[in-house]
A and B are shown apart, each in its own frame.
Chain A
Amino acid sequence: MPFPSASVIRRLFRRRSTRVTSEGLQFLIFTLAIGIAAINTGNNLFYLLLAMMLSLILVSGILAEYCLRRLELHRHLPDLLFVNESITAILAVKNRKARLASFSLTMCDVSDDHDVSSRLEVRYLAPGNSRLLSYPLTPTRRGKLQLDGVRVSTEFPFGLFTKKAFYPIEETVTVCPEIQPLDESLLRGLFAAGHEQSVHRRGHGSDLYNLRLYHAGDDSRSIHWPTTARTSQLIIRETEAEEQRRAVIHVPTTAPDSHDAVFEQAVSVAASLIQHLTYQGYGLQLLVGSERSSFGQGEAHSLELLRMLALCERRVPTTEFLSSHESVDPPIEDGAAGALILVQSWRGPGDEKAEHPLVMIDGEMILGGAHAV
């Protein structure tokens, strides 16, 4: 028979565990002392007291087990979390037992055998009843937040032992980088770069580009009726091509271990830029390492980009990589794709000590971009 692996044993122990409380320890010491006295003297009344103490321990274990049994737990979390941004999670706990109530329940989320949330206390849950518990959850790291389950514990009925049960409710939530207010100088730099990049062209879009006379073949839906009425001539409304408000955000992922904190800052800056530019109506493309998103606009697209940032990983530079200079020459295919915003955490082998990421727009370093946030 094969010996069960360590993970199996750990899982088994994770399902149920018991810890002696300080009061329980004193109780056990007294029980031991009475047991010794009973054996030493043979006094049956000492045995009676010993039996009482042992029965209280047994009853304690049985009742605690019943308290933790047949609970149903559901956790409700938002789809996307942000680092250091507190959200309200909701835990629904239902007592599925037909007759017995559960007492003194304490619950908390567990991730990788560690408690990751506040402890939630429910002192009484009647049979068949449920309770919604809300609690703040503040992730501290971007990436995938893996919640393995909920650990429920109780000290009922006598407070001698803390019995814990693990209810597996696996849930994975993406934690996006922290969104921070951008530095004023960076915003000014972005504004200036936007103007330089702005080439007004006719095309599909929503902003007004020009008004002109109607020519045969023009789309009748483009007729600008107020002007037509005023001038008694058919006037066509031309719009400004939207692709003129595009930006490409490039976040090189190559950085040595010493630049890990700066890399995280760079990712945070990029996320903040995405958020800001999305509000400004920009079409955005994100380059993270070798990954490239499509151009897009709007809230859904920005969330997609934030997810990419949430999951990107820093790569330690190798010799081959250094020769390729990936971070210096971003693979931009179309020169007309819009402003190229580079958020760089490591400039190359010469950059040994950096405190802030570098932000460059179209190859020009933005004043204040070195401490963008």
Chain B
Amino acid sequence: MPFDQALRLTSILLASASFIGLMVGTGLPEWLAALTGMALIVVLLRSVGISSVDHLVMRVPISATGWNLVVIGGFLGFWVDLLWVSEELLPAGIHFLMLLMVIKLFNLKFRRDYLHLYAISLVAILASGSLTTDLWFFPIFTLYLLAGVWTLLLFQLTKSSEATGSFTIPRTIPHDAQDGFDRVTPHLFWIGNGLAIGAFLMTLVIFFTIPRLSAGFYQKGVGENLRTSGFSDTVNLGAIGPIKRAPSIVMRVELSGRPLRNGGPLYIRGVSFDRYDGKAWTNRLSHRRSLREETAGTFVLRGKRSTVSLQSGETIQQKILLEPLDTPVLFAAPFVESVSGPFPNLLSDVTGSVYLPFPSASRIEYTVVSRSTPLVPADFSSEAGLYPESFASYFLQIPHESERVGALARELTHATRGAYEKVNAIQIYLTHNYRYSLDAPLAEQDHPLEEFLFTRKTGYCEHYATAMVILLRMVGIPARLVTGFLATEWNEYGNYYVVRQQDAHAWVEVHLPHSGWIPMDPTPPILEGAGDGNPAWTVLGRVLDNVRLQWNRFFVQYSAADQFAVVQELKAGSTSVRNKALDSMTSLVSAFTAILGGIITQDVSRVRIGFLGKTFGSVLIGLAVLLWLGMRQPWAGRSPGEKRSRQDQAMANLYGRMLTYLSRQGIAKPTAMAPIEFVGIIRARWSAANAHVASITGLYCQARFGHIPLTQEELQRANDDLHRLMSLQKL
């Protein structure tokens, strides 16, 4: 392909990459996206030489003045957009930028036009980067980098030819007419792509090493926060229902330490409620106090935990990447002991719920140490204890109109002994006698609880949990309603839970005299939705989500703290560094191995992924070392007698063939004779062969003793001489 055509194509590709970035990121107005897209397609078709498009465009002649008028019109439109339509500088600027891009695309005549287009593309990709942090930015950025490298390369290569063509520089003499270097050859193709790969790798290195000077705790928010419900101080019954259908990801939870819950459901606690008025739940214990910061960034809860639970409770360490939500609640597995993260301050209430000072406008990553509460055997037989009034007023409160409910509670528990059995009986009753459905308009009823328990017998988690709390309270067992998420979607490729809005859940915490607060869930397992959809798509979705997580972790969330951590690790010692580097490499390539694993089978185990990652990483490192050795050839300088370049070896072979042939002709070279002396012998005994022998011997000595590497031309010359020599016959 000729350089000028290739330059035109790559320039359009560059503009396309930035346009796609803007279109996906900001949602350009339809008319503008269509206009720019059409312009790109038209100029692309023109550049590949489709004449019909060319004729079509030529039929719409717009003079230079016309284009100038369009620019002026666009500029006026920018002000109108800024003042009355978008009313913001960035969207208005982006719209004007796209208009300029369209104008430039149809006016790519001079080199300065190309430069203008590149500047527009750069600003566009910059604007795209400022408006999104989503994963799709990465492939678009990669495409932009590839197109950018090719564009700059071709722009430079065409500069010379243009300089000696229309832009005359009289003192320059081109000497390339004979080699036809005016099109993209396979050699140049690989050089360009190699250059792009090199630039890409160097970009990554610079990106991870360039000092992060920004000191903000939170990045600037992009877009709107995800809407949640069920986490404010007062929640109407049925509030969770609408968001149970939303698939947006709320958080990702990675369990570190013991892999105790691979795939099993994980309760992620938000807030708890103590007062039910018949239609809504209220948290009357919402008074928040600051948490004590034990070490920098680590906050500890001063909870009143029983000695038993502290001794035997299961520790769960979680790393949570929380999307920006409209609530300040900080979610974690129950019950939180400490929280670490980039927080200026954290708050908690007496029920153990943790809060940010204000809702985060960006993703935040934090680590939580929780400890579950085990059921103490003493509670299997003991009756519900006597609670102080201050406690009972909160957790034994029942609404007034609950006679039928009370009767049901007594009926369910009259045959049981001990608090735990009562709890169990109520839970089993609810689980087995009611049907789970999101289509339960109970919120519109005057008495939704009675409607659920006695009429419809259909509802979802909130109804189950509310019913259980009230039934328990009716029989004197303290209980409270808890809202949060029930994580069931385990991503085996990244070893983390994906928590979506539809995973919002409500369950019950029951207070037992010896164990303390025990989570109980009366909601039956949800069967709807399970197993639907193509398994391949499910696997692909999980792999992509894992890539998205890595993208967020390594690119979007990468901070000065991470850099500091890397430096600290480097200081820790060479062994540690080697291990960490291997780990980093493994984690970096794990996404790709996961994709491979996902393609092969969806049953790739964690062990296999780790193994594949390490193998792939080792192979990569090995290849890099081999490449380095091949390029540097460290042995070449140390023992020149032992190792020779390919050219030198080829020359030695040629010389050997010459000696063999001469020997057959009756002129053998004595071992002790120097090559030059042998030329003298040839001159005397076979003058016709002298020129060829002298030429080959000269080149052989140059390579063998002069250590001057031979060029391909010289090798070819020696080869030709040998053929001519072999065509001679000694008389």
Contact = CB atoms under 8 A, between A and B. Distances in A.
A pairs with B: yes
A90 B204 CA distance: 46
A123 B157 contact: yes
Contacts of A55: 199-200, 202-203, 205-206
A51 B133 CA distance: 17
B58 interface: no
B485 interface: no
A206 to B, nearest CB: 39
Interface in B123-177: 125-126, 129-130, 132-133, 137, 141, 145, 148-149, 152-153, 155-157, 159-161, 164, 169, 171-176
Contacts of A47: 207, 210, 212
B172 A106 contact: yes
Contacts of A324: none
Contacts of B206: 50-51, 54-55, 58
Contacts of A211: none
A45 interface: yes
A124 B176 contact: yes
Contacts of B575: none
Residue of A58, A121, A156 with highest tally of chain B CB at under 10 A: A121
Nearest to A132: B175
B126 A46 contact: yes
A94 B712 CA distance: 11
A153 B417 CA distance: 95
Given A121-B160, A157-B153, A56 B126 contact: no
A212 interface: no
A48 B555 contact: yes
Interface string A331-342: 000000000000
B388 interface: no
A159 B118 CA distance: 14
Interface residues of B, number: 62
B160 to A, nearest CB: 6
A152 to B, nearest CB: 13
B195 A157 contact: yes
Interface stretch (B29-37, B214-222, B509-517): B214-222
Contacts of B350: none
A98 B647 CA distance: 9
A45 B148 contact: no
A333 B137 CA distance: 95
A156 to B, nearest CB: 6
A27 to B, nearest CB: 9
Nearest to B128: A45
Question: Range of interface residues on chain A?
Answer: 35 or more
Contacts of A135: 173
Contacts of B175: 120-122, 131, 133
Given A49-B125, A101-B187, A59 B199 contact: yes
Chain B at the A interface: mostly helix, strand, loop or mixed?
A: helix
Given A96-B709, A118-B173, A48 B141 contact: yes
A126 B185 CA distance: 12
Contacts of B126: 34, 37, 46, 49
Given A103-B157, A123-B174, A30 B712 contact: no
Contacts of B169: 119
Interface string B693-731: 000000000000000010111000000000000000000
A147 to B, nearest CB: 17
Given A45-B137, A56-B149, A133-B175, A123 B195 contact: no
Residue of A39, A41, A42, A106 with highest tally of chain B CB at under 10 A: A42
Nearest to B130: A43
Residue of A45, A122, A158 with highest tally of chain B CB at under 10 A: A45
A294 interface: no
Contacts of B137: 45
B173 to A, nearest CB: 5
Contacts of B159: 155, 159
B558 interface: yes
A352 to B, nearest CB: 40
Interface in A77-104: 94-96, 98, 101, 103-104
B210 A50 contact: yes
A32 interface: no
A160 B115 CA distance: 12
A121 B219 contact: no
A6 B557 CA distance: 51
A156 B159 CA distance: 10
B645 interface: yes
Contacts of A51: 202-204, 206-207, 210
B596 interface: no
B556 interface: yes
Contacts of B215: 42
Contacts of B588: none
B625 interface: no
A333 B215 CA distance: 95
A200 B305 CA distance: 140
B148 to A, nearest CB: 7
Interface string A52-70: 1011101100010000000
Given A30-B119, A59-B199, A43 B219 contact: yes
A44 B556 contact: yes
Contact of B156 (A34, A95, A96, A155): A155
Interface of B: 115, 119, 122, 125-126, 129-130, 132-133, 137, 141, 145, 148-149, 152-153, 155-157, 159-161, 164, 169, 171-176, 179, 181, 187, 191, 195, 198-200, 202-207, 210, 212-216, 219-220, 555-558, 645, 647, 709, 711-713
5 contacts: A43-B220, A44-B556, A56-B199, A104-B160, A156-B156
Given A48-B141, A121-B175, 13 more contacts: A44-B558, A45-B137, A46-B130, A47-B210, A49-B141, A52-B148, A52-B203, A98-B709, A121-B164, A123-B161, A123-B174, A129-B712, A131-B175
8 closest Cβ pairs, A-B complex:
A42-B214, A159-B156, A45-B129, A55-B202, A51-B207, A158-B152, A51-B206, A124-B181
